[in-house]
């Protein structure tokens, strides 16, 4: 198998290599070098994206092509989330953001807290996605994306446009980026 490093998708998509914290305690989303024009959709909360769920919006962002939409019933099943609360800061708030649950009794959050929760939601969704794609339905969704060529093609001449397969070497956030393999 030939390994192709994918430098444009350094955000750990497929989230076997999900987003996370660096050893110095700083959060890096992997989207540091993007600007607002790099997104396929309007920012979350705008009029045009108001009808999108957080999951649909997140998966539609540029650089998130390797994600499939995880059904909310999978996310709501606590068994599927076992152990994730210790891995993600602001776990409850991030889960509520992913599931579009708004608590009217909450105090308003400042911009720094919202940014931290948003980052935690990205990490949490990546970790949930990594678990989901190991299920029967998740494997089918990823197989469909592969068959449609959503992950791209091998650039080598002899491969004649063979569809590549994304693969993560680890499930530890920010440890390594997703690699593309030509089968």
The predicted-structure confidence for 36-53, as pLDDT tens digits, reads as follows 444 444 444 455 556 889
User: Which pLDDT belongs to residue 68?
Assistant: 93
Higher pLDDT, 104 or 12: 104
User: Which pLDDT belongs to residue 49?
Assistant: 55
Largest CA distance in the chain: 60
3-state SS assignment for residue 123? helix
Q: Is the pLDDT of residue 59 over 90?
A: yes
Of 16-20, 80-84, 155-159, 168-172, give the lowest mean pLDDT range: 16-20
**Beta strand pairing status for 2-5 and 20-21?**
unpaired
pTM > 0.75: yes or no: no
pLDDT tens-digit profile of 71-89? 999 999 999 999 999 989 9
Take residue 35 and report the two structure tokens written for it: 């600007």
Of 28-37, 103-112, 131-140, 166-175, which has the strongest mean pLDDT?
131-140
How far is residue 121's CA from residue 143's CA, in Å, rounded to a whole number? 25
Average pLDDT over residues 19-31: 40
Take residue 62 and report the two structure tokens written for it: 């540029």
Percentage of the residues of the chain whose pLDDT score is greater than 70: 72
Average pLDDT over residues 21-33: 41
Average pLDDT over residues 106-128: 90
């Amino acid at each position: 198998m030939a390994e192709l490093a994918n430098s444009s998708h350094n955000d750990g998509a497929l989230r076997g290599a999900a987003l996370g914290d660096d050893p110095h305690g700083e959060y890096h989303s992997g989207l540091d070098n993007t600007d607002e024009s790099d997104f396929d959709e309007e920012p979350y909360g705008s009029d045009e994206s108001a009808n999108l769920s957080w999951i649909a919006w997140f998966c539609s962002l540029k650089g998130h092509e390797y994600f499939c939409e995880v059904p909310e019933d999978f996310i709501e099943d606590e068994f599927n989330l076992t152990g994730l609360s210790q891995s993600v800061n602001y776990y409850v708030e991030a889960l509520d953001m992913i599931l579009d649950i708004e608590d009217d009794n909450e105090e308003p959050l400042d911009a720094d807290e919202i940014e931290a929760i948003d980052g935690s939601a990205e990490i949490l969704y990546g970790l949930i996605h990594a678990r989901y794609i190991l299920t029967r339905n998740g494997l089918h969704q990823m197989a469909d994306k592969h068959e449609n060529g959503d992950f791209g093609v091998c650039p080598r001449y002899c491969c004649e446009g063979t569809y590549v397969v994304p693969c993560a070497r680890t499930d530890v956030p920010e440890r390594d980026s997703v690699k593309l393999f030509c089968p």
